Chains A and B, each alone.
Chain A
């Protein structure tokens, strides 16, 4: 019986292939995700292990609380004198000190050198201590004072050779430096995307504004001293603002920041793999159902010659098991290619990830196989059960149809209840009080899945009216083929509905994304319009990295500026949680127009050393009124108490301010290496060409600073999200492709089933072209059905979210929605190509005799 099942599968190769493809893509996404994230993780791990190779103990500064990367504040440095004390310990064989930071390289045209969003890393190097030095000099010499050595990767991409002069921007203005040499990050090569710049210690300290300070000391144990002894002996002499770890522990610690990111990326991508598989399950279930219906006589014959129901079910399940297995294996191979594609995709959107070769772990193979096979088998359960209901008498009856199942008549009500239950869970997740994030996500996730199930099964009720509506144009444009196509789409509502359902899921999610993005965009633009009364803004070239505060100097000196207001941002401990603290320069009342519920614009100008203002929500949550005291702890550990002098009501799209804002003066007193997130500028005469030119020239020494007007600022700030949006679309396109295969499959099976009918149509004078048109129209009607239900569902789901989430407003992405509908038509046309050709090429005589 197993052999029979396998042979049956083999005899329907094309159908099997098309069916299997639905699973292939989902499994490929899952495999690709694991391969990608494992590869990145491996690359990072090897980077950090390489850095601390030969280092037994590492001394670093210690923040008062965990400071995350890119938060705008840094872990405090420590005095350089500590190095001498460490070197003086008997347990220490050798020790070097180092500083590091963001070093932006600038090419001879004055343009910032950056590759995607990869970091621009600068660090000090001590070539006399090769044991602490992972980088390998490839040409030229090690950097002397005011010289820089850069990595070979950047050098070859930008045609830089030793002896040339390039610009380097650290914590201050650009400095011109001679390139002394080129190096590889390690003997294994470079870090993808990142630019590396090495300096001698004194130059690095000047560049990063850390003269007399160190970020790190690396030590090696003296002969006969263990790592543990070394670490504990160093710990004894450290001030409270520094800490010591073993080299391995420091590598793990440094990697932990990236781990969080990688885990997020993994979960994020797996979700899309899951969506593709979910859609794939619909496609498989539908294809198998049709196949089972078409094999009615075969199953009935098997029953007459003694096969039991259990054997019939087993044979269908074995087929799906093998199908799932083969499809999963194919998916794993494709997943490797997809991982490469994902690296490429992320690089395209400015997100270069380190890559030191693809890594296929055993776990990846096992998970992909188990998930792929499981989904296929689960999707085949219902078709398998249907197969067991084929009565033996169907072997002798012409055109026997399956008897409806026992529960068939409860189907509409059952699916409606499922859908409503889904909505209820969704609503509970969104609006229920006292739920944790995990609970919210669980409720919303299960709710959404139930909604999809409910709508998918209920939609067979909608097929007839929708076919009339959407098939109307087809019938008018297409004439007889159009009318036939519309009626064909209606004749098996369940089948059409299931086929459309796969596309429906993809389009619902795409619509949801478009609606939410539009909502964010609208509220953000609105917020900028409300708050901005300024002419220009300055940010980093990448729009989000903090920029040195010294950028403000030349701007203030520019003849026409009336106010230059930097907004500092960084993490701090406020009310026992780590939150964003912002600092604002005097002159803020000239660049921001806020709605004050207490205090007023003058509050921003008179914050002084102890003043702060907050927003209404935060004030409500923490019972703050004017005069309330707020304790703030900075990364250095220093604490300062501020009193609230004003409360403002931010627009729904947010403001540039964190929950607590203090004066930039107070901020700079407590935060080492303070940086601005934005600088806002007002000028005499507003935005004019002359003013723009003057400001541009003021920024000449800061190539990493980008001057922009209001509209540019809005677009730039939104561009990050727009790129994320593009990634989401690409990933969701996977599930749309899966559903496209579902339509192809259904049409191929329908053509096969209607062979005789198509032969008859041809015999009575239908042309090949008309047959093609008929199949294509049917495909388009099916796709549009999926699109109509999907877009409607997407709108409903997003409306729920928009209603719930404060910073979202309802705004229609009309253009996108039209594109989606057109895309659905395109999907329909593409899906019809193969089946339509098969139908058109049928031999009329053979088709008529087909039984």
Chain B
């Protein structure tokens, strides 16, 4: 059995009806019988509008599974997830597609850019897919903000890792989604570049009010968040509001040792 004690729902659900993303009693298990693995064992949380929420945890804690379920990429075994008032766990493929277009942006560890498109085309892609045209001014501002104006015609293969992640962030921001899910956004970058990317993400929350959920095991990344949820063995064990890097490291040590 796990040593850490799960936080009660009341303590994690603090934003009530103003929450952008809400998870209630989410469980997820893989396999059956002897090979059954409980990745999530009853997680409830909510995400405040305009804030950066980090989900922190060691490998195998279930944080990736949690993010997949929050972002409606995966379905929970039980429990519900609501995004902007819509319960997403029961939606069909068409409705999910609509949801992704309007409400969700993604930032991936491996950037996931389309290699044949230029930086600019990659950024514009979500709008193209939804059949929309970007407002010119907003689009230019966005490119400027992520620092891609100079490299807009380059292809991903001609860009550094950091630059690629900037393209990915701009791509997530371009449709002004209700929430952005970032999956280990610095996981594939060196530390200097990581710093720049984290600054950019922080800025997008502060300047654009972009609600963001970030899953990471990098304490430095977690430290820029407004709120840090610690996950261990499939449950939330700590809810920290604005922690420094050392706070985060200390908390992680505690979790892994216990």
Contact = CB atoms under 8 A, between A and B. Distances in A.
Given A4-B117, A393-B73, A305 B108 contact: no
Given A4-B125, A392-B73, A305 B106 contact: yes
Interface in B92-117: 93-94, 96-97, 100-101, 104-106, 108-110, 112, 114-117
A851 B116 contact: no
A717 to B, nearest CB: 62
Interface stretch (B41-49, B126-134, B205-213): B126-134
Nearest to B102: A306
Given A7-B117, A311-B129, A306 B175 contact: yes
A4 B128 contact: yes
Interface stretch (A51-59, A295-303, A323-331, A775-783): A295-303
B126 A305 contact: yes
Nearest to A306: B101
A576 to B, nearest CB: 68
B233 interface: no
A395 B128 contact: no
B101 A393 contact: no
B68 interface: yes
Interface residue range, chain B: 20 to 34
Interface string B46-81: 000000000000000000100010000110000000
B222 to A, nearest CB: 19
B120 interface: no
A304 B106 contact: yes
Nearest to B181: A304
A311 B109 CA distance: 25
A393 B73 CA distance: 5
B112 A297 contact: yes
Given A4-B114, A11-B116, A396 B108 contact: yes
Contacts of A1: 128-129
Nearest to B100: A306
B171 interface: yes
A390 B12 CA distance: 34
A8 interface: yes
A575 interface: no
B64 A306 contact: no
A10 interface: yes
Nearest to B113: A301
Contacts of B121: 3
Nearest to A301: B112
A610 B104 CA distance: 99
Interface in A376-425: 391-393, 395-396
B94 A308 contact: yes
Contact of A393 (B68, B129, B175): B68
B68 A396 contact: yes
B68 A8 contact: no
Contacts of A3: 121, 128
Given A304-B100, A305-B171, A307-B97, A393 B114 contact: no
B72 to A, nearest CB: 8
Interface in A63-101: none
Contacts of A837: none
Interface residues of A, number: 25
A710 interface: no
A340 interface: no
Contacts of B108: 301, 395-396
Nearest to B115: A11
B100 to A, nearest CB: 5
A548 B96 CA distance: 86
- Residue with the highest number of chain B CB atoms closer than 10 Å, among A302, A305, A307: A305
B117 A396 contact: no
Contact of A305 (B68, B116, B129, B183): B129
Nearest to A11: B116
Contacts of B73: 304, 391-393, 395-396
Contact of B112 (A10, A307, A395): A395
B129 A302 contact: yes
Interface in A10-24: 10-11
A8 B125 CA distance: 14
A176 interface: no
A309 interface: yes
Interface in A283-337: 297-298, 301-309, 311
A1 B100 CA distance: 17
Contact of A7 (B116, B129, B183): B116
Given A4-B114, A298-B114, A301-B112, A393 B171 contact: no
Contacts of B116: 4, 7-8, 10-11
Contacts of B175: 306
B130 A306 contact: yes
A3 B120 CA distance: 14
Interface string B154-181: 0000000000000000010001000000
A303 B73 CA distance: 10
A290 B115 CA distance: 18
A311 B108 CA distance: 22
B129 A851 contact: no
Interface in A24-51: none
Nearest to B93: A309
Nearest to B68: A393
B66 to A, nearest CB: 13
- Residue with the highest number of chain A CB atoms closer than 10 Å, among B117, B126, B129, B183: B129
A773 B209 CA distance: 59
Nearest to B175: A306
A303 B94 CA distance: 11
Nearest to A393: B73
Contacts of A851: 110
A4 B94 CA distance: 21
- Residue with the highest number of chain A CB atoms closer than 10 Å, among B115, B171, B183: B115
Nearest to A388: B93
A308 B115 CA distance: 20
Contacts of B126: 305-306
A396 B106 CA distance: 10
A391 B108 CA distance: 16
- Residue with the highest number of chain B CB atoms closer than 10 Å, among A302, A306, A308, A393: A306
A4 B97 CA distance: 18
Contacts of B64: 396
Nearest to A302: B129
A301 B117 CA distance: 13
A11 B96 CA distance: 30
Given A8-B116, A396-B68, A396-B183, A307 B110 contact: no
Given A8-B114, A308-B97, 8 more contacts: A7-B117, A304-B100, A304-B106, A305-B100, A306-B97, A393-B73, A396-B68, A396-B183
12 contacts: A4-B128, A11-B116, A302-B129, A305-B105, A306-B97, A306-B129, A308-B97, A309-B93, A311-B129, A393-B68, A396-B68, A396-B108
Interface of B: 64, 68, 73-74, 93-94, 96-97, 100-101, 104-106, 108-110, 112, 114-117, 121, 125-126, 128-130, 171, 175, 183
The 7 lowest CB-CB distance pairs between A and B, nearest first, are A11-B116, A306-B101, A393-B73, A301-B112, A7-B116, A305-B126, A308-B97
